[in-house]
Amino acid sequence: MNNMNPNRNELEKKIKISFKNKELLENVFIHRSYLNENRTFKLPSNEKLEFLGDSVLSLTTSIYLYKNYSHLQEGDYTDIKASVVRTESLALVSRELKLGQYLYLSVGEEKGNGREKTNILADVFESLIAGIFIDKGFDTAYDFIVKYLFSTRLDEIITKKLYLSPKSRLQEISQATYKELPIYNLLLAEGPEHKKTFTVEVMLKNKKVGSGSGKSKKHAEELAAQNALDVLAQ
């Protein structure tokens, strides 16, 4: 879609939210790269909206978890929140809503497939949240987030405990199935002292079920645990 003629009313129909301030909706999609080549453009970039949207999203997540998952602990809330608002989750919703087609991008970003970049799509989703919040108020923004981000993802994240680290999830499975903890063995530590790579294997019932390499022993263990989870899921 041409940067100068995005048909944003199609988006308004899709999300069933009609903006009173159409210029605010346009501002949602102004990527900073566009202004580098169009310095006299009437609107600023969407970076301030993105900042505000991040806060609205954080508050919405906290309220929703408190209201709907009262049996969980505060530590669980923190982990769940980090899981559901991560960049990849937000970009996924952006793709579903086709937000990328409305972006104002520089020629360079356009050629670099900027409309499909995960970080840009995540940012524009947060900008849209802010636009809805400013134009329609918190309740409408809250309902929008619940509908498009939470309804399809949050229950699965909580039910399957996807918010836990791979090591924590593997430990739960191991204790439930074998009544014992996974054992992590350091296989290799190579490279100069300031730039070592660690390779770790994870064992269940004296059998290797996964391995991983990372820049720290902890990171390698998490990757090994994720590898084990993938193997066990097959």
Structural domain ending residue among the three candidates 112, 132, 159:
159
Same domain, residue pair 154 and 171:
no
Q: Residues with catalytic annotation?
A: 54, 126
| Helices 118-136 & 47-68 angle (0-180, nearest 10) | 80
Long-range contacts at 224-233 (CB < 8 A, ≥ 24 apart): 224/184, 224/200, 225/165, 225/166, 225/167, 225/169, 225/170, 225/182, 226/166, 227/202, 228/166, 228/170, 228/182, 228/202, 228/204, 229/166, 229/169, 229/170, 229/173, 232/173
CATH of the domain at 209: 3.30.160.20
pLDDT of residue 120: 95
- pTM comes to 0.74
Please name the residue that has the structure tokens 């999830």.
169
12 is in an annotated binding site: no
Same domain, residue pair 17 and 119:
yes
230 is in an annotated binding site: no
Same domain, residue pair 195 and 149:
no
Q: Is residue 144 situated within a structural domain? A: yes
Q: Is residue 4 situated within a structural domain? A: no
Question: What is the mean pLDDT, run by run of 10 residues, along the chain of 234 residues?
Answer: 64 96 96 92 96 96 92 87 86 94 93 92 97 98 95 79 82 87 93 90 92 91 90 82
Q: Is residue 146 situated within a structural domain? A: yes
pLDDT of residue 1: 39
Domain that holds residue 224: 166-233
Structural domain ending residue among the three candidates 124, 159, 194:
159
Same domain, residue pair 74 and 135:
yes
CATH of the domain at 110: 1.10.1520.10
117-168 residue pLDDT tens: 999 999 999 999 999 999 999 999 999 999 999 987 787 788 777 787 888 8
Q: Is residue 194 situated within a structural domain? A: yes
Same domain, residue pair 210 and 100:
no
Q: Is residue 154 situated within a structural domain? A: yes
pLDDT of residue 6: 63
Same domain, residue pair 146 and 39:
yes
Same domain, residue pair 13 and 55:
yes
Q: Is residue 173 situated within a structural domain? A: yes
Structural domain ending residue among the three candidates 159, 181, 212:
159
Same domain, residue pair 53 and 130:
yes
Domain total in the chain: 2
Q: Is residue 1 situated within a structural domain? A: no
Q: Is residue 39 situated within a structural domain? A: yes
Same domain, residue pair 48 and 135:
yes
50 is in an annotated binding site: yes
